[in-house]
Structure 1
C-alpha cells in the first residue's frame, strides 16, 4: 500500500500475462486484477505475445481480430476444398493448445484430410511435425525465414499479369486494391513484384511461385495461416498480405475457400455445439463505485502493449505510439505476476533481467520454481489444479464439453488458492473486504452459479443438463449437442451474400486492402497497404557465419509447461534443448549430431544439443521456445538449458501493434569445448525447498 499511496495506482503493474491452468474460477491473472481493482487500480497490458501484430492489424483489414474466431468448419473443408495451404502453421503440435481445454477434434480432421487425396501444400522453413505427418501426401516448400510477404507478392503479381485474379470480387468486396496494385506492379516504387523478384528474396524458384498462382486460382483453395510469421519485425504485413491474396482469389465466403488464422489453435473449425456455455469470474467486483459505495473498482488506469514491458521499465514516463494513439509508459515501482512464466516468453532475456531490477518489489504467485519465481522478491506458493475444484469447457470455438475439475488432493505444504489469497488480502485493505471480493461466495458457490447459468442457457436451446449436484457427484463431462446449421458454417458467407446488409467492422464495411486509417497514422514501419519490408536481422543482413533463428513451438510441452517433466528425456540432446541444424551448416562448423553446441550473438549465449537434419532450410537453425532459462553468471551468463529468448531481439513489430518479434534474430553456432556445466534450471534457489 505504501507504493500505491506514494506513487499512485499506475506504479503497480498487475497486467500479469501468460499461460494458465484451465478453469473458470481459479484464473490467476483475473483474480489478481480483481484484487487490484479493489485496491484502487493498476497498470495493465494490451494484447498478448501470441498474436500481438495480427490482433491489431486485422480489425483494420476485416473488422475483427480474426485470430480468435471460429473458422469455416472441418466438414465444409473436407467436402468442398480442393487445395489446402498450410502457411507457416504446424497444427499437429499446436492443436494441443487451447485457452480453456482442447476438444481434441482437430487431429482427427487432419487424419481425414490426409486420407482425402486433396492437394496439401505446406510452406514453412522447417519440415514440421505436421509436414512429417502428411509425408508424400503434401508438398513442402521452404522459403527463407521471414520472407512470406515477398513470396505472396510474387504469387499476386503472377495472378495479375496472367489475369487470374477475381476483379469482380475485388470491386464489390474490397477497397483500395487499385493503390495496392500500383505497388504490386511497380508503378509506385519502380519495382515490380515479379516471381523472379520474389525468388531473389524468399529463395523459392520463380517457376514454383508462378505455379502456385495457377493452382490457387484454378481450384477451391483454403489458405490456413499460422501465427509465428507475424511474431517478426513488420509482422502486421504477413496476415494483411495473406488476406489480400485470398481476396484476389475471390473465394472468401465460399464453401471451403478463403483464409483462416485459427485452424492450428484450439481446434478452430470444429463446429460450435448447442448447449450451455460457462461464464467465468470477472476482474471487477459487482456493485462498484457506480452503486454508491466507497470501494475503488477501477480497472487498469494505464495499459500499454504487453511485449513492451521492458521498454516501460527502462523508460518510465516516456511517450510511445500504438495503433494511432500516443501513450505514456507508467513509472512502475511494483510488479505482481500471477499465473505466467514471462522469463520464458519475453524476448532478450538478459535485457529483461536487468529491467526487472528496477522496481522496488516483484511478487510472483507460482506453483513451481520457474525463472520468474527465482527473480522475485516474494513468492506466494499457489495450488495446482489438482488441489482445488473448478469447471471448464473444451474447445474455445466448439464448446463441445463441460468438464468437472474435481480436487484430487488437499493443498500441499503452504500452498493456497489464488482466490483465497486475494480474498484475505482484500480484508487487509478494509474491514469487510473479503466479503466484497468474494461477493460472499466460496469456491463451490461460484461453481454452482456458473453451472446454473450454463444450464439455463442450454435449456433455452432445448438441451437438457442435469442439476449441479447430480453432475458434480457423477464426475463425468457433458457433451453438448451437434448443431447441423453450425456444421455448415462458412466464415464470411453472410458478408459475401450481401455486403450492404452484412458489412464488416471496417470504416468502409469492406475488406481494406488499402487502409486510409493506417495511412493517417503516418507510420513508416507500417505502410497503408501490404508491403515487403526488410527486417533488421534476416538472411539479407547476415554477416559471414550467421544463421537465422527460428523459435517454433515444441512438440512435447506447452510453451514452458512440462519442461521439467520426464517427457524431457524424449527430446533432450546432451541433456539440453535441441537445436535443429541443416547438414550443410553443421559440416561447415564441424558439428556432428549429438554434439553440445554454443549458440550466441551480442544478446547472449546458450548451450544446446545438435540435431542435424535435412528437415530445415540451410541458413536457418531452430531452437524451440519454452525452455526454462538457466543462466550461469560464473560462465559468462551462458544459458545452460537452451532458452531461445536469450538470443531473440526485443523490438516491436511496428508502431501500429507493438507485438513481439521473437522470430527476428541472427545467431552464430559452434561446437562447445568449454567446461562441463551442470543443468540447474529445475532446482530451487539456494536455501529454498522444492516444497515452497
Structure 2
C-alpha cells in the first residue's frame, strides 16, 4: 500500500510516495505555487549505480604507499572494508595527526550546502565532533559571497548578512517603487532554492506583483534571460566584469548635473567628497563620465545617462546580484552599488534604496527573517587558525605562506588531514587541475558521501552516508517562517549511516562519546531541538508538540517585524539618533579603515580596476569569449546532477553551453553539437545551445556538472562532462576578501567532432570487494 510522506529539501517541500519501503515518486507539495522540478528527479538518483553502499578505502593508501607526495588520488581503485575497520582507520589517523602535528593540522572547514535539516547539519556535526576532539583549522566566508561578506561590514556595518533585513522587501517595492535596476539580473531559476528548506516558493508571484503594480525593471547583465519574461525588463547587455564602470558612469552623470541626493550624502554618509574627486578625475586625470563608461562596458552612452536621470527622478531600487562580486575586484560593484543608491535619492524611503542577492534564493527580499530555530549545539573551536574559504588550494600547496585578509596577515597552516562532510570541493573551487594537484598534499582525506562524485573519488577513506530521505529531522529555511517535518521516508541504502551516527561512534572510540551525544539518540535529539524551539518562542508561536507537529507535517512561525538594527529609514530620519555600526556611524563612501590597509587592489572608496581577464584586455586576443559560469537551473550547485531533471537537461550526456548564434557561425558550430571549451588552464566538452539570450562574445556554462577527467591523475586532461571550473582561475578577488573570482575567465570554443568519449561522471571507481 502506498504511503505519502512530507519531504523537505533546499529546493522546496514535496510529498514522497512510498510503496513497501520503495520510493515510487516525489510530488510537489499541493500548496506550493511554483514547485521546483529538481524534487521529482531525486527518485532517479536514490538507488543509482553511483551510490556509495559500503565503507571504502583507496587501495594505495591502504597498501601503505607514501602518504605525502602520493599522486594516485582521483585515479586509484578502492577496497571495501567493514565499518569497524573503517572507523578504526579514521580514528587512528586523527590520533596520529593530532599527536605528531597538532590540532591545527586537521582541516574541518568542510564547505557546502549538504542537505536540509536542523539536526542533521553535516558541517555542524563535523565541527562539533572535531572541536570536542581538540580543535581544527576552519574556513571563513563563502564561495557565493566572500567579497560581499568582507566589504559590507566596512560600508554599512553590522553582521555580513544583516543587510537582508535592512533592504526593501518585494511587497514594499510593489507598493512604493517605480524603478528597479538590477546589476547581474534577477534570474528566477535561482529562487528555486533556500538553505535549510522551504515551505513554498513565493519569489515568482512577488515579482509578478511588482510588475502588475507598474514597477519597471532594467536588467544590466550579459544574459537577457536573467530576468523573467513577465517582467518585460529593459535589457542592457553589459560586458562581463564591468558593472563597476557602468555604475561610475551613472554616478558621474548624477554628480555633474546636480541630480544626486546632496542632503542624504551630507547627513548620512561620510567621505563623499573624496569619492567625488575620483569621479571627476582629480585623482588620476580621468573623469569617470558616461562616455568613459561606455567604452569599457559596451553600453550606449545615452542609455547610461538616461538611467542616471530615471534613478534620481523615480522611487528606485539599485539591486546587485551575487554573481558580479565573484570576479576580480569583486568588492567594488558591491560597494559602488551602495554608493549609487545613496546618490539616487531613494535610500531609506519606503520601497526604495539598495539591496543585494534578490532572487538568488527564495528568501532574499521575500521576508526580512524568521525567529531563531534550535540546531545541533556548536562547541567553541580551541584552534584559532582559519583560512579564507577559497584559499584551500593555496594552503595545501604553500603551507607557511602569509597572505593578507581584511587588514590582517594570515599564515597558511600545514594541513595533514582533511575531513570533508556535506560538500563537494571539486564542484565549487576554481581551476580544478590546480586543486587536484593540491589535493595530493595531505596525508589523509576522509569524506562522507552518498554518491561516488569527484570528491569521493579523490578521497582516501569514503564513509557512506544516508541522504535527507533516509533519516528523521525537521527543516527551517533561511528567512522562511515555517517549520517542516522530515520523517524518514526509506531505509538508508546499503550500509549507509547518518553523519551523526558515524561521529558518535568515532567519538566513543576516541574517548568523548558521551560529550558528543549528550546521551541522546538521534530521534531524541530531533525531538529535543524542536521542543527547545517551541519553548523559546513561547505562546506567540503557538507551535504544537512534536508528535502533533509530525502529524500535521509542519507548522508556521510568527513573522519578524521591524524596525531592524541599522535600518536606512531610521538613518535618513535622524543619523545622530540611529547611527550605523560603522566607524563614522554613517554609510562609508570612503572607508578610512580600508584605506589604512594600503592594498593596491582595494582603495578606500569604490574604484575601477581592470580585471585580469575580460573582453577589453590583451588576453582576449587568444581567448575571445567571456565565460559566465552561473548557477544551474536543473540542480542545486552539483547536488543531484545524477537526478532525473539534471540528466534530462544534458546534450548527448554533456552539460549545455549557450553560445550567441553570431559566435557559433564564426566557428562552424551547429545547435546541439558537442564542442570543446578551452583555455590554457584546461578544457571540457559541452553540448551547444545557440541563443541570442547571451550577448555576442559571451558563453554560458553553468556550474555543477560532476568533473569527469579523461585521464584521471593527468593535469590538464580534458573533462568529458562540462565542468566550467576546469577553465576558471584560482585567483583571489583582492587582498581584502581573498574571495573567488570565477567569473573572470576567458575561453575559446570549437567543434569537437567524432568519436565522443563516454561520460563516466556517474560511474563508481574500480572497487575491490
Same fold (TM over 0.5): yes
Which 4+ stretches in 1 moved above 4 angstroms? Answer: 485-491
> Aligned-pair distance for 1:489?
11
Query: TM-score, normalised to structure 2's length?
Result: 0.84
Question: 2:633, 2:527 → 1: CA distance?
Answer: 36
**Cα-to-partner distance string for 1:658-681 (whole Å, 9 max, x where unaligned):** 000010111111111253200000
Task: Tell me the residue number matched to 2:689.
Answer: 611
CA distance in 1, matches of 2:283, 2:291: 19
Tell me, in whole angstroms, the C-alpha distance in 2 between the residues paired with 1:422 and 1:545: 47
**Does 1:659 find its partner at 2:739?**
yes
Structure 2 CA distance for aligned equivalents of residues 646 and 674 of structure 1 = 22
1:207-286 aligned within 5 A: 207-264=302-359, 265-271=361-367, 277-284=372-379
Residue 603 of structure 2 corresponds to residue 527 of structure 1: yes
The superposition leaves residues 3-45 of structure 1 with CA deviations (integer Å, 9 ceiling, x where unpaired) of 1110111111110001111111111111111111111111110
What secondary structure, in the 3-state scheme, does the structure 2 residue paired with 1:427 have?
A: helix
Partner of 2:579: 503
> 3-state SS of the aligned residue for 1:379?
strand
Quote how far apart the aligned CAs of 1:565 are.
1.4
1:351 & 1:475 partners in 2: Cα distance?
50
| Alignment match, 1:369 | 452
Residue 688 of structure 1 and its aligned partner are, at CA, apart by: 6.3
* Deviation (angstroms), 1:209: 0.3
Cross-structure match for 1:189 = 284
Distance 1:266 1:300, change over 3 A: farther
1:410-559 → structure 2 map (5 Å cutoff): 410-430=491-511, 433-460=512-539, 462-472=540-550, 474-481=551-558, 485=561, 491-541=567-617, 542-544=620-622, 546-559=624-637
* Unaligned residue ranges in structure 2 (runs of 5+): 1-94
Quote how far apart the aligned CAs of 1:487 are: 11
Of 165, 172, 196 in structure 2, the residue corresponding to residue 100 of structure 1 is: 196
Please, which of 69, 74, 92 is the counterpart of residue 164 of structure 2? 69
Q: Aligned partners of 2:221, 2:752: CA distance in 1, in Å?
A: 29
Q: Structure 1 residues 29, 299: CA separation in 2 closer, same or farther (over 3 Å shift)?
A: farther
Larger deviation, residues 7-16 vs 489-498: 489-498
- Structure-2 separation of matches of 1:342 and 1:688: 26
Paired position in structure 2 for 1:682:
762
Alpha-carbon distance, 1:278 to partner: 1.7
In 2, the alpha carbon distance for the partners of 1:651 and 1:241 equals 22
SS in 1 for 2:581: coil
Partner SS for 2:670: coil
Deviation, structure 1 residue 429:
1.2
Alignment-derived partner of residue 142 in structure 2: 48
Residue 182 (structure 1) shift: 0.4
Secondary structure of the residue that 2:384 maps to in structure 1?
A: strand
Aligned to 2:490: 409
Query: 2: CA distance between counterparts of 1:372 and 1:298?
Result: 25
Q: TM-score, with normalisation over the residues of structure 1?
A: 0.93
Task: Work out whether 1:2 is the aligned partner of 2:96.
Answer: yes
Q: CA deviation at 1:131?
A: 3.9
Contact 1:33 1:299 in 2 (8 A): no
SS at match of 1:421: helix
For residues 87-113 of structure 1, give each alpha carbon's deviation from its aligned partner in whole angstroms, at most 9, with x where no partner exists. 203341111121211341112101212
Task: Say what the alpha-carbon RMSD is for the aligned residues.
Answer: 1.9
Conserved? CA contact 1:176–1:514, under 8 Å = yes
- Does the Cα contact within 8 Å between 1:156 and 1:245 map onto a contact in 2? yes
1:183 and 1:490 map into 2 onto residues whose CA distance is 28
Structure 1 residues 379 and 266: CA distance shift in structure 2, 3 A? same
* Deviation for aligned residue 1:582: 0.9
Query: Matches of 1:163 and 1:77 in 2, distance apart?
Result: 26
Q: CA deviation at 1:562?
A: 1.9
Give unpaired runs (5+ residues) of structure 1. 285-296
Matched pairs, number: 667
1:650 Cα deviation from its structure 2 partner: 0.5
Q: Deviations over 1:491-528 (max 9, x none)?
A: 52222222222211111111001110011100001111
Per-residue Cα deviation, 1:592-618 (whole angstroms, up to 9, x for no partner): 111110011111010011111111111
